[in-house]
Amino acid sequence: MENFCPICEKKGKVERILKTREFNVRGESIKVEYEAYKCDTCGETFMETKTEDDPLVVAYTIYRKKHNMLQPDDIKKIRMKYGISQAELGRLLGWGGATLSRYENGALQDRVHDGQLSLISDPRNMLKLIKENTELFGEQRSKLLIKNLTDLARDEFPLHRCIEEIYGNSEQSALTGFASFNYDKLLNAILFFCRGGLLKTKIVKYLFYADFKHFREYATGITGATYYHLPLGPVPDKYDIFLASFLNDKFLEMEEVFYPDYTGEKFLSVSEPYLSLFSDTELKILTAIKDYFKDHTAKAISEYSHQEKGYIETAPQEPISYEYAKYLRL
């Protein structure tokens, strides 16, 4: 085949060859096979000038895939979806002016920055961030962004809207741990618990013990959920709805597991939990509960919860007051 050689600056016969190059990307060795051309006239090899053919760009792409990081096109799509400029988004995230531009053009992003971008790919998180930083945009621009993001969140996450309608209007009381219902904390507590997989029965018990233990020690719950007396023990109100929402929104995956005497549903975190949402005391309690019950079977933790005074002294289908937290067995 014929092609123009940029080395000798002549058009002539070239041979297509495959070469391999090894790159050190953040301490990891990544090998890239790429296409090059050998010029019959000068004997030198050269590559096409397209950016996507650059072996370093390919190495970065491989690294991102390996570590579940966003690709440059993903980052650009997130920004374009919200109709926000590079300068605006960079300012909102507290980055330098050129940082976002470099990432969209192929530079390998910082892992912390990648986490921030992944979070705001959810319009609910972006909406919250905009509302907290309206002074960065001015009144008119903020109103427009908030309206667009509200519409996006409703369109993309109808089950989320349903959950907020169910829980969001509950008054703070002893039935909510004197906390407002917090969808994000509920989601991220479950993501934290479900790292490595967790049966549904254990998820709802972990939530109960985390909320009630935090209330006992710090006078407020974590998630603001209300718990009810059901046959398997204390569980959050309408827990099947929010688990369905998290599955639908791809935060969790579920698989059936089979045991000699029953079939269970095991949930596995797809997304990493955003632990910065929690205070130091909340994170301490979440960690303590997960560690305390890690070796309990679903049956054992269910039976354990049946011995709680709050469960014993309430009738089936009745809510359990957080005031019973002072009698918690752990």
- Residues 189 and 221 reside in one and the same domain: yes
Query: How does pLDDT run across 263-297, given as a tens digit for each residue?
Result: 789 999 998 898 988 999 999 999 999 999 999 99
Query: How does pLDDT run across 184-216, given as a tens digit for each residue?
Result: 899 999 999 999 999 999 999 999 999 999 999
Domain that holds residue 9: 2-66
- Residues 102 and 239 reside in one and the same domain: no
- Residues 123 and 188 reside in one and the same domain: no
Is the model more confident about 322 or about 7? 322
Question: Degrees (nearest 5) of the Cα angle 78, 79, 80?
Answer: 95
Q: Of 66, 95, 122, which marks where a domain is finished? A: 66
User: What length is written for the chain?
Assistant: 330
Residue-averaged pLDDT of the chain: 89
Judged by average pLDDT, the poorest of 106-110, 146-150, 153-157, 315-319 is: 153-157
- Show the DSSP H helices in 168-297 as ranges: 183-193, 200-218, 239-248, 280-292
Query: How does pLDDT run across 227-237, given as a tens digit for each residue?
Result: 999 998 999 99
The whole-number pLDDT of residue 249 equals: 78
- Residues 61 and 34 reside in one and the same domain: yes
- Residues 181 and 319 reside in one and the same domain: yes
Query: How does pLDDT run across 89-99, given as a tens digit for each residue?
Result: 999 999 987 99
Measured CA to CA in angstroms, residue 71 lies from 56, 62, 64, 89, 225 at distances of: 14, 10, 7, 17, 37
- Residues 263 and 132 reside in one and the same domain: no
CATH number of domain containing 27: 3.10.20
d(CA 264, CA 202): 11
For the entire predicted model, the pTM comes to 0.56
Q: Of 118, 139, 156, which marks where a domain is finished? A: 156
Cβ–Cβ under 8 Å, residues 172 and 179: yes
Residue 47, sorted as left (phi over 0), alpha (psi -120 to 50) or beta, turns out to be beta
Number of domains into which the chain is organized: 3
d(CA 315, CA 228): 9
- Residues 182 and 313 reside in one and the same domain: yes
Cβ–Cβ under 8 Å, residues 201 and 264: yes
Q: Of 156, 171, 189, which marks where a domain is finished? A: 156
The whole-number pLDDT of residue 150 equals: 84
- Residues 185 and 242 reside in one and the same domain: yes
| Mean pLDDT value across residues 77-98 | 91
- Residues 150 and 166 reside in one and the same domain: no
CB atoms within 10 A of CB 317: 8
The whole-number pLDDT of residue 158 equals: 59
- Residues 150 and 165 reside in one and the same domain: no
Query: In 3D, which of 53, 39, 45, 33 has the Cα closest to residue 1?
Result: 39
- Residues 192 and 286 reside in one and the same domain: yes
For the purposes of burial, counting CB atoms within 10 Å of the CB of 222, is it exposed (0-12), middle (13-18) or buried (19 or more)?
A: buried
